[in-house]
Structure 1
Amino acid sequence: MCNSDFRPASRRKACNIEPCPPVWEEGEWSACSRTCGEGRQMRPVTCKQKLTQSVTRPVPLDQCIGLAKPLTTQTCNDEVACTSWRTGSWGQCSAECGEGDRRRELLCVNEDRNEVPESECSHLPRPDETQSCNGGPCQTSWFTNDWSTQCSSNCGSGTLSRGVLCSTEGTTAGAVPDGQCSGQQKPDEVKTCTEAPCGPKWFTSEWSRCSVGCGTGTQTRSVVCVSSDVSPTILPTYQCPVSRPQTSQQCEETECAGVHWFTSEWSECSQSCGGGYRTRHVKCLDGLMQPSTECEIIERPGLRQSCNIQQCHIVQPDVPASCTDKFSYCDKIQQARLCSYSYYRQRCCFSCYEQNKK
């Protein structure tokens, strides 16, 4: 084995100390000379020689002769068409007064100023086609339409009407509050008109209330013949037109709820034990809680009901075991005070025991 104490020291020895042959070195391409259409871009190309790992120096170009020299120029943006937005003049404001907007023509054109599809200008900021404008303060005034062509009355005095509204001038806006025309007198909306004198006419009162609270009923009103004077007087019916208004008509109220059986509470039981009965009252009523005969008899609730059917336990102290009742109706014998007869006293011994003692 080798003794590490006698190991020779490590040494480094240079090799391949001759400089590397010169080579072409390319720089970065410059920006394209045009943003659209065919342009040119350039880059530096130098001949350099590497002397050491960390030292490189430029050398004359002729030292790289024989090596293929990289391109120093190239075309660029030849696939991007040269287009631009062409704007027209602004049009008139859409409002003659107040806030509105105006428009202008906007076209995408090529280098020859010919229109092309807008998609070819999509890479460019799009100018505004509309902008707001102000036509100045708006003035308000009253607007009216034509008077109605027919008088409201066929005879005597009546009225004609028309529409009147406050609106702004020079706009297509509709009505604004009347207060905005407060400085101007409002035109009349109604004026009188006169037709031929009126003869006798029918006068009708208001319809009465419907005769029923639910379902179909009738209602009536008064119809009289009166004069057309300022102070009308009642006239004979033959002086009025033949077509007399109706004095009655059918009326419809809400649908009736129908008829139902109603019952009172049960009375107290007639017996506390041994079988008794209790009663109640039953009525047939309609939707207005009025008596009716329309209820189904088969659905009528019962009037009478058994109650306290448990057997009565009468305490009779000191009753001999031989003293028993022979009849089931001995309680009735005792109630009828028949225990005084020996026949019943013997056969109803238990029930008559108290009387037997007497």
Structure 2
Amino acid sequence: MVQVCRQQSTMLTVVVSKVNFKLLFITTEEVSSTEDLHCENADKCAYWSDWGPCSQSCDGGTRTRTCSDSDAYVVGELGLEARRTLTTALRSPLNKRHQIIQTYITFCFPYLAYWSDWGPCSQSCDGGTRTRTCSDSDACSGSSSDSEDCNTQICPYWSDWGPCSQSCDGGTRTRTCSDSDAYVVGELGLEARRTLTTALRSPLNKRHQIIQTYITFCFPYLAYWSDWGPCSQSCDGGTRSRTCSDSDACSGSSSDSEDCNTQICPYWSAWSDWGPCSQSCDGGTRTRTCSDSNACSGSSSDSEDCNTQICPQAITWPMGTYGLLKPTTRCPNQWATGHRYHDTEDDNPFNAWSSPCHMSGPYDTTTNVYQNFCMKTVDIADTDDQSWPTGQYCIFRKGGSCPSGMTEGSVYWDNEDDDNANSYSGELPDGVYNIDTRIEFCCQTSGYTSNPIYLPMDTSFFLFKFNNECQQVHGMRATSEYFYWDTEDDDNDDEATGNHPYEGVVYSGIRLEFCYYERI
């Protein structure tokens, strides 16, 4: 006889933990069915569908299946009696439902009732084991103890960072890796960690192969990037780049860059200025010292080559006739000398000069002034083999015209009108020397003061400034100086014309600036 069991049925879902087999929850739902279910075959029907696809291709996912009979309850292979018992329980009042289900589970699945909770894991990482025990060896199937793997994630292999090498301005600190093959990419899933753990516990000849295979499969974008190129700067911040050999495999652009060498470059503020060169030409050395050994890189003293140019042979004064202001030392050999006595202002006179001032005198603030000259009066063409080099400076004119390449100018001193005592002697620059004074100058204006010129170094000398800077001369140290002549106060006619020495007419007086040169 064929009997139809039911047409209206109850959907029954019982969920048991896969970890410890404890009952988690049970739900029901009334459903209609038009399919006849013959009782004698009820315990043989297959109620579960095939498993669906996994939600992830690696690093762990989930998959699902469905039951075509809502009353089917599967914990192992349940028979018809099990389904009837649970269906009766679910149709009972709430206060009896759990009692019936628990009694049934204890009777039919005693091994679920006697196992203890899992104990602690033996390792915090890199894989350990945990155990549980059965309180009734007769009720538990097999052994009275059970174990499983736990904490399979890879342990961190890096040590803590060490101390910094500097307290400020940038230093370095280091850490060490206890296993050079440890590989961590962000937050890896359980499956990834298991794979890598297996690799790290494998013999060395297999380890790299396992890791590379896993990386290439799960992280393909890591396999196609080149190594980082060199940094564009050694300090103070640069960039380095890398390229991707397969644009389809790399996310975004096929090139990548990052900052590098961001540490501050060594600074030089603690170093003194360079000292004088030991030679004026043919190569010498100069040194400097560090006032703070912590701020300077390496030794506390430093040296470098200087004045490496070849020494000129037999330098002579340039061609032509001209004059220079006489210093307190002497004039060049075979040059003539002369002087102009300036009768300066008598009422409240205020002649002034720099300190130091190497201009030959005598002079003071309350009396008159001697202006002394060194005059080159002979032009010997076969020995004077150079012209005045380009630069920015002035000299006295002599002989009616300026040397080649120089331009003319003049300065006029309106000397004291009352009881004027002007006088002169010897060789003088071109000009007018009566109760007033006009002196003619030649100025070189076509070069730069920073480009050193070559002049004889056997004695000290003066060059007038054309602007407010001293012309640099090879092998000579320049000192900036000045003199101020307090000229006539009433109806003063002081004047400076053309290209003349700096500064010229200043208030009721003449101020000229000049540079004193002495051998280094």
TM-score by length of 2: 0.17
TM-score by length of 1: 0.22
**RCO higher in 1 or 2 (8 Å CA, sep ≥ 6)?**
2
